[in-house]
Structure 1
């Protein structure tokens, strides 16, 4: 009887994990498409970038609301508000690359392709090996904070070398974040698909923009 009970609980846990994983990837796909649509709209309308302060306030404000309502239907509304807002801020950046570099289209497509390959490769690795990457949580927290404040310093004081170093740091950190978040879902550390989606979306967004900046420096043809 104990064996049967343990088996039932184990199967229930697997089913719950698979449900979170399925819902996460479904919502992630939808938010990425929505974000791409808002980015394209911003590009077509040639909207200016809202600036650092508005971007940070909008991002952290919507992120806070998403976390607050992550267990209700309102959480889905704020997820799309957050990803749509981030897409709107991405549009002006893409236009800048198209105008600043003669091979701007190639740079954007290369960054997009690289982001897709890295995400799918790391996700597949975490899913197939089922390794627990929870041990890198502390490293990620410290690394992201350091990279975030270094990035702000690079923008405020206009230090190109520091900005380049931050982009390289974010490529590594966001890659590790994808491994960590996927592992959390697999091992039951993350049971809320809305929060899992936001984490993966932000990782993909930062990975793409960081790769694009690196490609612009090393492969740009202005």
Structure 2
């Protein structure tokens, strides 16, 4: 005989999961649109790139703000501040790529990023597979990427830069799988944090694809 208490708990859990998914994807769509607008403005005004130091300070500063305010309305404000800032940083990169005749590369990178995101998200939403086992590999991958990034700041080796771009795509793909799985399986209940993770992953995949496509396209 079915236990009505268990049935109610499962129903409430499913409702909560659907709510988090709906809020996450709604906020993510809005954040991506805002980031695209900021990228367009930055590109049209030919604004300079903020530079790696300012980019990192702005990114981690705003990320810290999101985590501190994730349970309040200010968290949404910080999400748009972060996505707008990252969008602004894309503008100068797009200008550089397009100026070298790489408009097709930009479109291909956008299409590739969308394909990766929807394929990974669709896989988890369909199978509801628990991807928490990736946690250890993600930590190891982050350490490898961090060491490689710092090393390449001094060595400036093109091949290492391309390897890091490939690793960024793999790492960000893993982050999308883990974050979506956490929502679907009840491990993530904060849509602001979920949106931030997905946005950063999409951003990293897009920038990394741009780097790889430029290199293999012979533009570097």
Per the shorter chain, which TM-score range? over 0.9
- For residues 127 and 152 of structure 1, what CA distance do their matches in structure 2 show? 36
- For residues 83 and 119 of structure 1, what CA distance do their matches in structure 2 show? 17
- For residues 156 and 81 of structure 1, what CA distance do their matches in structure 2 show? 30
- For residues 138 and 129 of structure 1, what CA distance do their matches in structure 2 show? 22
Displacement, 1:145?
2.9
| Partners of 1:111 and 1:211 within 8 A in 2 | yes
Q: Which residue of structure 2 aligns with residue 44 of structure 1?
A: 44
- For residues 156 and 50 of structure 1, what CA distance do their matches in structure 2 show? 19
Aligned alpha-carbon RMSD (Å): 1.3
What TM-score comes out, normalization by structure 2 length?
0.97
- For residues 25 and 213 of structure 2, what CA distance do their matches in structure 1 show? 28
Structure 1 window deviating more from structure 2 (153-162 vs 59-68): it is 153-162
Structure 1 window deviating more from structure 2 (198-207 vs 1-10): it is 1-10
1:168 lines up with 2:166 in the alignment: yes
Q: Extract structure 1 runs of 4+ deviating beyond 3 A.
A: none
In structure 2, the CA distance between the partners of 1:119 and 1:15, relative to structure 1 (3 Å rule), is: same
Q: Which residue of structure 2 aligns with residue 120 of structure 1?
A: 118
| Partners of 1:27 and 1:197 within 8 A in 2 | yes
- For residues 152 and 45 of structure 1, what CA distance do their matches in structure 2 show? 31
What TM-score comes out, normalization by structure 1 length?
0.96
Q: Aligned with 1:64: secondary structure?
A: helix
Q: Which residue of structure 2 aligns with residue 219 of structure 1?
A: 217
- For residues 87 and 149 of structure 1, what CA distance do their matches in structure 2 show? 26
- Consecutive unaligned residues in structure 2, runs of 5 or more: none
Number of residue-to-residue matches in the alignment: 220
Q: Which residue of structure 2 aligns with residue 207 of structure 1?
A: 205
Q: Which residue of structure 2 aligns with residue 110 of structure 1?
A: 108
Displacement, 1:157?
2.5
Q: Aligned with 1:108: secondary structure?
A: helix
- Consecutive unaligned residues in structure 1, runs of 5 or more: none
Displacement, 1:141?
2.0
| Partners of 1:122 and 1:179 within 8 A in 2 | yes
Q: Which residue of structure 2 aligns with residue 73 of structure 1?
A: 73
